[in-house]
């Protein structure tokens, strides 16, 4: 329509033989393009109410107790954390360590100094020991006098072996250059049980181990960024809280990470999945746990925003399940209903198409938590949204033909599987309903057609 108007007005004005009028018309029409684009795209680009990056950073930081060390992974976590601390002054007592930069000597050296209200960090090795390419990596070299089946003290390994200048603990890499080695994969971190109970690292009812034992993954090389992380953990000796923005297990200590909100804390307790009381008090506190203004009308969240907002929904869901398993259904219901209240359906529906259908998968977990918490009204709301989206997807995939259908076969099978799981949830938690046939929910065929491509 706009194109017809833009083309038609100059055409009409040409018959008036008025060059000045044509010039003015062309100027006005050229202004219509950005005005039209602004009118149509304003809601997609309006960031005046959207505070998700800041709130995500706040949630990460408030998940940590004072004077903590927080390891982050990648820009999407780190930049909001830097902004929150440096611009808004949120939790400047926490030292944020970006693992993407942790393999660089100048970045490691910065950890030796106090920043804001965060104390300096011991990284074991001196600046000279890590200068330039020194100890860019260490190489696994077993020793006859060191049995591989026993656990080696991590601090001793880092300081007196990987950090040693003893030629007997080095290997020649050619050209007169050498690199350090390490003799074992099994390591341990001793635990002062009285200290960790006294400083709040563990809860009063935790079964605390006397040493944290783990196997560094069976690899021949450990790079500098991983070495720096191991050094920090070993030298800390449980004096400061150590957290991660993800359930990090690349170095083998994942069984000792406990979810304290959005962040995961390293604790000397095996398989303690969620710090229930701490996390419940956090996510139900509106001053400490944010949702990026998803509760306000007309706030647009693009695909990347939705992925991070879903992290909050998933975290709340995990807490709800933990509360349910501990016979605290009322508390679980409180968490679920608060999460629902703070994420308007118009901004962030439960049913929504996404990569690998991850959005609907997490919403189905939320749905089961609602069922288990006996929150039938909320379960009905979630079910309707997820079911509608999955059914719409099914109709779309069924309408495809040729190469398009073949290219979307995996997505179609995934969607069909989710529809079957959704039907199973209905049957399990609403037993009075009649059994659902193989046609699936509301008669939609949830079985994949035969894969002719595999003939």
Asked if 397 contacts 405 with a C-beta cutoff of 8 angstroms, the reply is yes
Ranges in the chain, pLDDT < 70: 1-18, 22, 36, 38-46, 173-176, 431-455
| Tokens, residue 115 | 């920043």
Please tell me the distance from the alpha carbon of residue 398 to that of residue 416, in angstroms, as a whole number.
Answer: 11
Specify the pTM.
Answer: 0.85
pLDDT at 455: 36
pLDDT at 27: 75
Phi, psi of 52 (to 5 degrees): -60, -45
Q: What is the DSSP letter of 449?
A: P
* Residue 348: strand, helix, or coil: coil
pLDDT at 453: 36
Considering only CA atoms, which of 341, 413, 426 is closest in space to residue 386? 426
* Span 104-161, pLDDT tens digits: 999 999 999 999 999 999 999 999 999 877 788 899 988 888 888 899 999 999 999 9
H or E, element range at 372? helix 358-372
pLDDT at 228: 96
pLDDT at 31: 79
């Amino acid at each position: 329509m706009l194109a017809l108007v833009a083309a038609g007005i100059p055409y009409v004005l040409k018959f008036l033989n008025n060059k000045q009028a044509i010039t003015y018309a062309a100027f006005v029409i050229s202004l219509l393009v950005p005005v039209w684009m602004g009118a149509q795209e304003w809601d997609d680009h309006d960031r005046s109410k959207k505070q998700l990056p800041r709130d995500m950073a706040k949630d990460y930081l408030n998940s940590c107790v004072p004077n903590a060390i927080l390891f982050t992974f990648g820009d999407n976590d780190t930049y909001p954390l830097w902004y929150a601390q440096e611009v808004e002054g949120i939790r400047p007592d926490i030292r944020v360590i970006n693992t993407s930069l942790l393999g660089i000597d100048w970045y490691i050296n910065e950890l030796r100094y106090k920043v804001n209200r965060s104390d300096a960090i011991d990284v074991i090795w001196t600046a000279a020991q890590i200068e330039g390419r020194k100890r860019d990596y260490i190489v696994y070299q077993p020793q006859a006098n060191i049995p591989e089946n026993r656990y080696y003290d991590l601090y001793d390994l880092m300081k007196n072996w990987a950090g040693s200048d003893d030629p007997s603990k080095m290997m020649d890499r050619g050209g007169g250059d050498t690199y350090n080695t390490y003799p074992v994969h099994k390591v341990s971190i001793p635990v002062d049980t009285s200290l960790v109970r006294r400083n709040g690292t563990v809860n009063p009812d935790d079964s605390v181990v006397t040493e944290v034992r783990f196997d560094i993954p069976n690899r021949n090389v450990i790079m500098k960024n991983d070495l720096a992380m191991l050094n920090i953990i070993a030298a800390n000796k449980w004096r400061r809280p150590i957290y991660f923005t993800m359930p990090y297990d690349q170095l083998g200590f994942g069984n000792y990470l406990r979810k304290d909100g959005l962040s995961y804390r390293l604790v000397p307790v095996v398989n303690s999945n969620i710090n229930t009381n701490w996390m419940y008090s956090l996510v139900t506190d509106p001053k400490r746990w944010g949702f990026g203004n998803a509760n306000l009308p007309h706030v647009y969240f693009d695909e990347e925003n939705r992925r991070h907002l879903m992290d909050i929904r998933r975290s709340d869901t995990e807490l709800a399940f933990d509360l349910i398993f501990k016979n605290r259904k009322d508390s679980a219901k409180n968490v679920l209903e608060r999460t629902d209240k703070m994420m308007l359906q118009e901004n962030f529906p439960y049913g929504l198409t996404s990569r690998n259908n991850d959005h609907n998968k997490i919403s189905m977990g939320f749905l089961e938590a609602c069922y288990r918490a006996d929150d039938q009204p909320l379960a009905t709301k979630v079910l309707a949204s997820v079911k509608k989206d999955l059914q719409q997807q099914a109709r779309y995939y069924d309408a495809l033909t040729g190469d398009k259908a073949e290219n979307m076969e995996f997505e179609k099978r995934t969607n069909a599987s989710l529809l079957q799981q959704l039907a199973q949830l209905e049957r399990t938690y609403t037993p009075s309903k009649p059994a659902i046939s193989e046609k699936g929910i509301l008669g939609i065929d949830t079985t994949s057609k035969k894969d002719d491509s595999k003939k």
